[in-house]
Amino acid sequence: MKILVVGGGGREHAMVWKLSQSPLVKKIYAAPGNAGISSIAECVEISPGDIKRLTDFAEKNSIDLTMVGPELPLTLGIVDEFEKRNLKIFGPKKEAALIEGSKVFAKEFMKNYHIPTASFKIFETKKDVLDFIRSSEFPLVIKADGLAAGKGAFVVEGLKSAEEVIDKVMVEKIFGESGNKIIVEEFLTGEEVTVLAFTDGKTVLSMVSSQDHKRIYDGDRGPNTGGMGAYAPTLMINDRMMEKINEDILEPTIFGLSREGRIYKGVLYAGLMMTENGLKVVEFNCRFGDPEAQVVLPLLESDLAEISISIVEEELELEDINWKEGSAVCVILASGGYPGDYEEGKEIIGLNRVKNEGVIVFHSGTKKVGDKFVTSGGRVLGVTAFDKTMQGALNIAYSAVDKINFEGMQYRHDIGYRATNVRREYF
């Protein structure tokens, strides 16, 4: 089987790495891929947003299955275009991917189907939102409606900071048309966890839970990023809680979309807040999370290619998905200045010194110049370790991090610190 993986980040490296272990897979292409992916797949210089070229490539090269990593091509309708040419592709169609592509759609959908989420209001003008905020209690959460690379949500502590965010999103248009509408939500307190699920639109099978670390600095300080690390599984989600997540959130979402004619195939990402009033959905994404994929996929015992084919063919109920015992930890190594401005082209030193069998380094923002690896993005590498215990995985991951360096390299020293310091009485 020949597979095309669309995307070029750490998530896609994890997908390619896992797919390469399948006896069903004979050849993997990645578009555009990255320097790390190039060691196990053939990289093709096609942008994830160039749907026509991707479709033409898949057709010309007789690709048996295409796996889509990032959200952009899904929200642009890549699945619809592939299926028009009878090409097999893993992911939701455009109308179903709207669950991530529009936060307004997602919030109204959750309200209609009684899926627990923060209370909210939707606004289309600066005047209306300011009038509402001036009579509200802080903190509040302000979100851009459309895609914003994981940076479209802002926690505001007062009127001044709220006005600044509204100007950036609605007036300066830092996220383009994604800021045409904004949502103002109540601020939820609790522990945020991620639960991913495989689904073919009829069957929903949840994966092991994980927890992302979105803030740039230790102790969850500083601005939000695309994710500075993750670990799995969390101690917060036991079997009873997972059943509740399936019954109250995942299944109602997939079946609700189906009732609207939005058949959802692929991976559904549920970002959840465990509050004292129960679970509430923070956001839905229409694909694997990044860096969550870098800790969840290493724990997947079953064949990802086999699962993916069963989803495309709507036979997921026949799959028995198994998970490894133990824990996985991912520490993201980022460029200096990220998530703001940063420089590229910094030589990465020490990758050849990371030889522990319990470690894999997933590349994100890297490229190869001659025989050297250099930085080419904000998040550069994801150092992932797995072990029988969480502490063991943490020790292995940070030992590997110590062997790697590039100018300006920054990372969090406390990934997983919440794993053993969380109350579990949420239900």
Phi, psi at residue 203, to the nearest 5°?
-115, 140
Query: What pLDDT sits at residue 423?
Result: 38
Beta strands at 182-186 and 120-123: parallel, antiparallel or unpaired: antiparallel
Distance in angstroms (rounded) separating the CA atoms of residues 297 and 291: 10
Which residue, chain included where needed, has tokens 């997908």? 15
- Assigned token pair, 293: 């994929």
Distance in angstroms (rounded) separating the CA atoms of residues 175 and 165: 12
Reading the chain (427 residues) residue by residue, the pLDDT tens digits are 999 999 999 999 999 999 999 999 999 999 999 999 999 999 999 999 999 999 999 999 999 999 999 999 999 999 999 999 999 999 999 999 999 999 999 999 999 999 999 999 999 999 999 999 999 999 999 999 999 877 788 999 999 999 999 999 999 999 999 999 999 999 999 999 999 999 999 999 999 999 999 999 999 999 889 999 999 999 889 999 999 999 999 999 999 999 999 999 999 999 999 999 899 999 999 999 999 999 999 999 999 999 999 999 999 999 999 999 999 999 999 999 999 999 999 999 999 999 877 899 999 999 999 999 999 999 999 999 999 999 999 999 999 999 999 999 999 999 998 775 543 333 3
User: Does an H or E element contain 112, and which?
Assistant: helix 103-112
DSSP category for residue 403: T
Q: Please spell the DSSP secondary structure of 188-228, one letter per residue.
A: P-SEEEEEEEEE-SS-EEE---BEE--EEETTTEEEE-S-S
Tell how far CA 222 is from the center of its chain: 20
Cβ contact 326:393 at 8 Å: yes
3-state secondary structure of 92: coil
CATH class as words, domain 191-318: alpha beta
* Cis peptide bond N-terminal to 70, omega within 30: no
CATH architecture of 2-93: 3-Layer(aba) Sandwich (3.40)
Query: What pLDDT sits at residue 421?
Result: 52
Cβ contact 70:149 at 8 Å: no
Distance in angstroms (rounded) separating the CA atoms of residues 327 and 386: 6
- Assigned token pair, 410: 């920054």
Overall fold of domain 328-401: Glycinamide Ribonucleotide Synthetase; Chain A, domain 4 (3.90.600)
Distance in angstroms (rounded) separating the CA atoms of residues 255 and 316: 15
Give residue limits of the domains in the chain. 2-93, 125-180, 191-318, 328-401
Torsion of CA 288, 293, 296, 299, to 10 degrees: 120
> What is the residue type of 325?
E
Query: What pLDDT sits at residue 420?
Result: 54
Cβ contact 55:86 at 8 Å: no
Beta strands at 89-90 and 65-68: parallel, antiparallel or unpaired: parallel
- Residue 383, Cβ density class (10 Å: 0-12 exposed, 13-18 middle, ≥19 buried): buried
Alpha-helix residue ranges (DSSP H) falling in 323-405: 390-401
CATH class as words, domain 125-180: alpha beta
Which residue, chain included where needed, has tokens 């026509």? 52
Distance in angstroms (rounded) separating the CA atoms of residues 163 and 157: 11
Query: What pLDDT sits at residue 399?
Result: 95
